[in-house]
Amino acid sequence: MSTRVCRLVVLCFLAPLGWLFALPHPASADEFGPIRYDRATNELVVTMLYGGTNPNHKFTLKWETCEFDDSGRRMPLVIADILDDQFNDTQEQQYTVVTRFSLADMPCPRPAIVSMGTAPKASFDLVIPK
């Protein structure tokens, strides 16, 4: 069988499966845009980039336990998980929202490193000054 005929057979076999690629995909992982610390309001200002069927996703911050370096050479570290209330939303469109998170209940003394993350892959470290 010639190469040309093999390609044609493969294309004919795969063509009916094309509808699979046209279906909405599961939501992509939330990603970070610009992030900064606002000293005046004591808040993290986080730009969230996410896919979904609607722009009404709400993001919350979940603090983990503060970790200290026994040598004293490094600042305390705390992990902050950013949770999306619609994490299973089907990705139909991309959205961007700026969210503000208070640091009033941050479990580490300052200065500290806040390591923010979203499921499953985005992460960003930011030093929060004294």
State pLDDT tens for residues 88-121: 999 999 999 999 999 999 999 999 999 999 877 7
Model confidence pLDDT, tens digit, residues 25-56:
444 568 999 999 999 999 999 999 999 999 99
Count CB atoms within 10 A of the CB of residue 114. Answer: 23
- Spell out the domains of the chain, with CATH numbers in brackets: 24-128 (2.60.40)
Model confidence pLDDT, tens digit, residues 64-78:
999 998 887 789 999
Q: How far apart are CA 67 and CA 78, in angstroms?
A: 6
Whole-prediction pTM: 0.74
Inform me whether the pLDDT recorded for 21 exceeds 80: no
Three-state SS annotation for 104-124: CCCCCCCCEEEEEECCCCCEE
